[in-house]
């Protein structure tokens, strides 16, 4: 897989760079009303960017291994919806392991998608890709 350069910017500087859909990932064991509040914030940001948020995947487990089933489900949903943006409550919701996280971010950047971290107010964005290079392995 080709390594993709990416940049991190403040969420207030995000503009819709793609037409399309988004999905959200929330890792939390909090009360339902708090999870709904997180989802509502993500939905509102998607609407402001004129992006359709199609799915919100909630991981209520205590596990943070990148190989857990909910991450597989997330990736499948991402592929099935052709989402171009991912909202996540915290980038470390995917995994707390730095090496696994960087590889996962690289995988997402190769799709390419924007990753919006709601807690840290940061967006991970792939640098401009030549479309002919995005599917190379």
pLDDT for residue 20 = 84
Q: What is the pLDDT of residues 95-108, one digit of tens each?
A: 999 999 999 999 99
Tell me the three-class secondary structure of 79-119, residue by residue: HHHCCCEEEECCHHHCCCCHHHHHHHHHHHHCCCCEEEECC
* Cβ atoms 81, 55 nearer than 8 A: yes
Q: Is 126 helix (H, G, I), strand (E, B) or coil?
A: strand
Mean pLDDT, rounded, for 51-76: 95
The Cα 71–Cα 133 span in angstroms is 25
Q: What is the pLDDT of residues 8-48, one digit of tens each?
A: 666 666 665 557 899 999 999 999 999 999 999 999 999 98
Residue 42's contacts (CB-CB under 8 Å, 6 or more residues apart) are 24, 26, 53, 56, 87, 116, 118
Residue 13's contacts (CB-CB under 8 Å, 6 or more residues apart) are 123
State the residue for tokens 């990416």: 6
pLDDT for residue 3 = 61
Q: If 0-12 CB within 10 Å is exposed, 13-18 middle and 19+ buried, where does residue 36 land?
A: middle
The Cα 24–Cα 78 span in angstroms is 9
pLDDT for residue 129 = 47
Mean pLDDT, rounded, for 74-100: 95
The Cα 94–Cα 76 span in angstroms is 14
Alpha-carbon separation of residue 92 from 80, 128, 129 (angstroms): 23, 25, 25
């Amino acid at each position: 897989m080709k390594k993709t350069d990416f940049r991190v910017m403040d969420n207030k500087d995000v503009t819709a760079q793609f037409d399309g859909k988004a999905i959200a990932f929330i890792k939390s064991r909090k009360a339902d009303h708090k999870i709904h509040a997180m989802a509502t914030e993500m939905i509102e940001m998607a609407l402001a960017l004129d992006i359709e948020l199609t799915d919100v995947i909630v991981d209520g487990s205590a596990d943070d291994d990148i190989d857990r089933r909910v991450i597989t489900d997330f990736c499948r949903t991402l592929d099935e919806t052709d989402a171009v943006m991912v909202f996540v409550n915290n980038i470390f919701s995917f995994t707390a392991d730095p090496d696994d996280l960087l590889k996962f971010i690289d995988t997402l950047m190769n799709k390419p998608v924007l990753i919006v971290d709601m807690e840290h107010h940061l967006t991970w964005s792939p640098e401009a890709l030549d479309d002919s290079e995005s599917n190379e392995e």
